[in-house]
Amino acid sequence: MLLGQAGPTEDRFEQVERIGAWEKVIARAQARQYAEITQFVAAAETSPAAGLTAAQAVESAQAEVGMMLRLSPGGTAWRVGEARQLVAEFPGVVAALEAGAITLPKARIIADGCADLDAATAAVVERKVLPRAPQQTTGQLRAAVRRAVLRADSEAAARRRERKRRERAVVLYPERDGMATLSATLPAAEAVGVFAVLDQHARGCGSADERPMAARRADALVDLVLRATEFCSTAAATACSADGLTGDESSAPSAPGSDRLPGVAPEGGVPTVTNKVSIQIRVTVPLDTLRGVSDEPGELAGYGPIPADHARELAADPDSVWRRLVTDPVSGALLDYGTTRYRPPPHLTEHVTARHQYCQAPGCRVPADRCDLDHNIPFDPDTDQGPTSAANLGPKCRPHHRLKGMPGWSVSQYPDGSIIWTTPSGHIYRVDPPPLTEPRVITTADEPPPF
């Protein structure tokens, strides 16, 4: 029997528990390794060997670490730098790592998120996010860190945002086999909007289109950017021959007014894209932030926390695709989700999507508006079970929707939208709808908001 292989009668519950225990062992070992690296390099720096400067001693010590771990010089410098930073600047993170409460990727998320903060502010963020970090996924923790940084240093966040905005870019990276990667670094709101447009075009191609969704988005991007470009015959022939087309297929460019470039459409053709799209992207803003009396961060669906001034800017544009969601600054409850639609089905969908924000599975970060709206109690009009109501509906991404129906899995939901997952091994996980904004702690000096 292989190491770790369960016997035919072994309790599956215990096996899953061991998987979790090994994760804690790994985290503890990584914490101890980082402590050893830090001590080894620090000792060389403070007491350099005869004839060496402190910098040379550090270089020598790093080389030893790299040889032991079989790392390149660049990889060694990165590993040593990360170890020394965590130990020196984030003692709480290191303690949680050594206790097995968090993993090394989570420790990195906290350190990276605090990179532009002074020591005192970084300590505030560390204390804020650490208590919930063990129960969060890396995606959830990254959003929590970003939100905590915005609260702790909103002015610095605005300066960083402007600096990063000036660094926006589109870069081309050649790849093998006639491919290339086109990378766009954009402001978050614009990036989410661009992706939403590509996604809508991709989903409108119909069920007969056998291309994966990612490939559909890629082809939609090419069409939207190049469809109106005029090509000379030579350029078109060159482009087509590069795709393996010959003869009449590459003899001329697309006809004037054509929506698709030569070689882009798969065999048989697919619907071409147009610029007529209907998308709405949710921007959640606390009421006090919208009124300008608070700088609580907003939330951009599909991205995460955004600075208060950016949230106000997006919410103030009535003609844009950004759809404003206003929340109670005290409880985080939904006050207004910005819809004027009357028909009940869309209204209910809007409400459930806004309430949950993400797939209901533990740790899943697929945005709710890209999920299936699932009846947790199956809909059955013959037995009057599974009502189409907010108390029984929840978003689930397609993989987790399928998972729910597999043998051994069960799901139950409370009226407030909280959901309980029970796995085949007997483990139970509860997922609560997140507040659309972080609830604010009330003190006696606080006045209730003037509704």
pLDDT in tens, 14-47: 999 999 999 999 999 999 999 999 999 999 999 9
**Total structural domains within the chain:** 4
Q: Across residues 441-445, what is the average pLDDT?
A: 52
Q: Is residue 256 part of a domain?
A: yes
Note the residue count of the chain. 451
Whether residue 371 sits in one domain with residue 348: yes
Q: Is residue 355 part of a domain?
A: yes
Whether residue 404 sits in one domain with residue 329: no
Which of 115, 130, 164 corresponds to the end of one domain? 164
CA distance 227 to 222: 8
First to last CA, the chain: 67
**pLDDT at residue 334, rounded to an integer:** 57
CA distance 53 to 44: 10
Whether residue 368 sits in one domain with residue 324: no
Q: Is residue 34 part of a domain?
A: yes
Q: Is residue 439 part of a domain?
A: no
Quick check: 425 pLDDT over 80?
A: yes
Has this prediction a pTM greater than 0.75?
no
Q: Is residue 169 part of a domain?
A: no
Confidence of residue 322 (pLDDT cuts 50, 70, 90): low
**pLDDT at residue 270, rounded to an integer:** 41
Whether residue 256 sits in one domain with residue 292: no
**pLDDT at residue 209, rounded to an integer:** 84
Q: What is the DSSP letter of 446?
A: P
DSSP, collapsed to helix, strand or coil, labels residue 160 as helix
Quick check: 157 pLDDT over 60?
A: yes
Q: Across residues 101-130, what is the average pLDDT?
A: 94
DSSP, collapsed to helix, strand or coil, labels residue 405 as coil
Whether residue 194 sits in one domain with residue 153: no
Whether residue 252 sits in one domain with residue 199: yes
CA distance 440 to 451: 16
Count of C-beta atoms within a 10 Å radius of residue 211 = 14
Whether residue 355 sits in one domain with residue 224: no
CA distance 371 to 408: 23
Confidence of residue 323 (pLDDT cuts 50, 70, 90): low
Confidence of residue 97 (pLDDT cuts 50, 70, 90): very high
Beta-carbon contacts of residue 17 (< 8 Å; ≥ 6 apart):
none
User: Residue 262 is which amino acid?
Assistant: P
**pLDDT at residue 401, rounded to an integer:** 92
Which of 313, 333, 353 corresponds to the end of one domain? 333
Residue 45 belongs to domain spanning: 22-164
Which of 310, 333, 356 corresponds to the end of one domain? 333
Q: Across residues 151-164, what is the average pLDDT?
A: 80
Q: What is the mean pLDDT of the chain?
A: 79
For β-strands 322-327 and 281-286, DSSP reports them as parallel
Angle at 396 (CA atoms; ends 390, 397), nearest 5 degrees: 150
Q: Is residue 178 part of a domain?
A: no
In DSSP notation, 60-88 reads HHHHHHHHHHT--HHHHHHHHHHHHHHHH
**pLDDT at residue 301, rounded to an integer:** 78
Q: Across residues 49-56, what is the average pLDDT?
A: 89
User: Residue 384 is which amino acid?
Assistant: D
CA distance 369 to 321: 14
394: β partners = 374
Whether residue 241 sits in one domain with residue 287: no
Q: Across residues 119-140, what is the average pLDDT?
A: 94
For 332, 411, 418, the CA distances from 415, given in Å and listed in that order, are 18, 13, 7
Whether residue 270 sits in one domain with residue 211: yes
Quick check: 176 pLDDT over 70?
A: yes
Q: Is residue 93 part of a domain?
A: yes
**pLDDT at residue 162, rounded to an integer:** 83
Better pLDDT: 206 or 92: 92
Tokens 């491919």 found at: 179
Quick check: 280 pLDDT over 70?
A: no
**pLDDT at residue 5, rounded to an integer:** 60
**pLDDT at residue 230, rounded to an integer:** 40
Q: Which range is least confidently modeled, 12-21, 100-109, 259-268?
A: 259-268
User: Residue 160 is which amino acid?
Assistant: R
Kindly report the three-state secondary structure assignment for every residue of 7-28.
CCCCCHHHHHHHHHHHHHHHHH
Q: Across residues 341-349, what is the average pLDDT?
A: 55
Whether residue 355 sits in one domain with residue 257: no
Whether residue 292 sits in one domain with residue 236: no
Whether residue 190 sits in one domain with residue 123: no
Q: Is residue 123 part of a domain?
A: yes
